[in-house]
Amino acid sequence: MTQTTAIAHPNFALVKYWGKKDIDQNMPAMSSISITVDSMHSKTKIYKNLSSKQHRLFINGEEEQDISKIIPSLQYLSKISKSNDFLVIKSENNFPTSSGLASSASGIASLVTAYEAHYDIELKMSDRVKACMLGSGSAPRSLLGGFVLMDQNRSYRCSQILGKSDWPLDVLICIASTESKKISSREGMEISRKTSTIYNHWLDINQEHINEALEAIREKNILKLERVTEKNCELMHEVMKTSSPSIVYKTDVTRSCVTEVENLRVLGHKLFYTIDAGPQVKIICDPSSSNAIKEKIIEKTDVIEIIHAGIGGSPRVVNEN
Ligand code: DP6
C-alpha cells in the first residue's frame, strides 16, 4: 500500500482531564469520561517520505514547523512496526483547529489508525492508547465511539460505557470564536498543577465525579448527567482561574450561551453544557430540543455558527488516493 487514510472524530469530556501525572509519558493525573461526536472529523493520510530524512506534517494544507507533539507517538509506533520510514502526514480537519475543539485528539487518533493499517501491525488496544496518549492526553478516548471512560486506575484502559446508538443525544457546538487559543492546554495544565490553590481538591474529587457520571450514563439519566457534567466543567474553569497567572478561556459569548442554556432549561428543554480549553460551548441535548436550542442561541448570542452533531463512532480507514 503506498498511502493510507483514516478518519477519527473529536471527543468532548464530560468529566475532564486537566493536569498531568507524568510529563514525559504525557499521562493524565485523573480519569475522564467523554462523548465522541460525529459530523466533525480529522482525516489523515500517511505515506513514506521519499525526498528527505524527516517526518513532515501538514495540517489543512499548511506545513507545521513544530512537529514535536507527534514525534513520541511515531517513535512508539515505529518500535512496533520495526520501520524506520520517515513519513509525510497530511491531516485535514472539517472544523476550526486549535480553538478548544479537540482537533489534536481526532488528529492523533486518525494518525495512529492510519499507521496501524499502513504497516499492517494489528495493535493491542493498550498500544493504541499509549501511542495516542504520547501525542495528546485526551486522544485515546477518540479510539472508541459513544460514551468512553479512560480509567487511570487501570493503566488508562479505554472502554465504551454506551455505544453511539444506545443513547442518541445531540451535540450542538456553539462557535464563539475561531481564533487559536493563546495558552495551549499543555502549558495551561502545567501552570494549574504548579499554582492553582484548588488543584488538590480537583484531583481528590475526580473519582466521585467519574462514579456519578458512570451511573448517569448507565441509567441514561440526562438530569444526573447535567449535574455532574456542569459541576465538573465549572470546577475545571475554577482551577484555571485560581492558577497564577490566571487562565480564562471563557469569553462574553461563552457566558451568554450558558445563560441561554439555563433559560432554555426553565422552558422545559433537556440540555446541558460543557466548555473546554477555549471559548466554545458544547451543548448536549435531547434531539427533540435541538432546533429550538439552535434558534434561541442564534437569536440571543453572538455565536459565529453552531455545528450540529450526534454521538459518533470509532476511527476507520478510508480507501482513497
Ligand atoms: C480541557 O489532551 O488537548 O479538553 O495532552 O497536552 O495534548 P495534551 O492536552 P489535551 O487536553 C484536553 C483538556 C480538556 C479536557 C479533556 O478533554 O479532558
Indicate if ligand 1 lies below 6 Å from the C-beta of 293: no
pLDDT value of residue 3 = 97
Ordered by start, the domain boundaries in the chain are 3-164, 170-310
Rounded distance from Cα 136 to ligand 1 centre (Å): 7
Cα 274 to its chain centre, rounded Å, is 12
Rounded distance from Cα 189 to ligand 1 centre (Å): 9
Provide the CATH number for the domain formed by 3-164 in this structure.
3.30.230.10
Residue of 233 and 177 predicted with greater confidence: 233
Indicate if ligand 1 lies below 6 Å from the C-beta of 152: no
pLDDT class of 178 with cuts at 50, 70, 90: confident
Rounded distance from Cα 59 to ligand 1 centre (Å): 19
Name the nearest CA neighbour of 287 among 170, 173, 174, 171: 170
- Locate the ligand 1 atom nearest the alpha carbon of residue 186 and give its number: 6
- Locate the ligand 1 atom nearest the alpha carbon of residue 15 and give its number: 18
- Locate the ligand 1 atom nearest the alpha carbon of residue 133 and give its number: 5
- Asked whether residue 201 carries a pLDDT value surpassing 70, the answer given is yes
Query: Any bridge partners for residue 282, and if so which?
Result: 173, 274
Indicate if ligand 1 lies below 6 Å from the C-beta of 138: yes
Question: Quick one: fold of 170-310?
Answer: Alpha-Beta Plaits (3.30.70)
> What's the mean pLDDT in 13-18?
98
Cα 244 to its chain centre, rounded Å, is 25
- Asked whether residue 100 carries a pLDDT value surpassing 90, the answer given is no
Burial of 63 (0-12, 13-18, 19+ CB in 10 A): exposed
Rounded distance from Cα 13 to ligand 1 centre (Å): 9
The cell for 267 is: 422552558
pLDDT (tens digit, 9 = 90+) per residue, 115-145? 999 999 999 999 999 999 999 999 999 999 9
Name the nearest CA neighbour of 216 among 12, 35, 30: 35
Rounded distance from Cα 266 to ligand 1 centre (Å): 32
Q: Among 27, 112, 138, which residue has the most ligand 1 atoms within 8 Å of its CB, making it the best to mutate?
A: 138
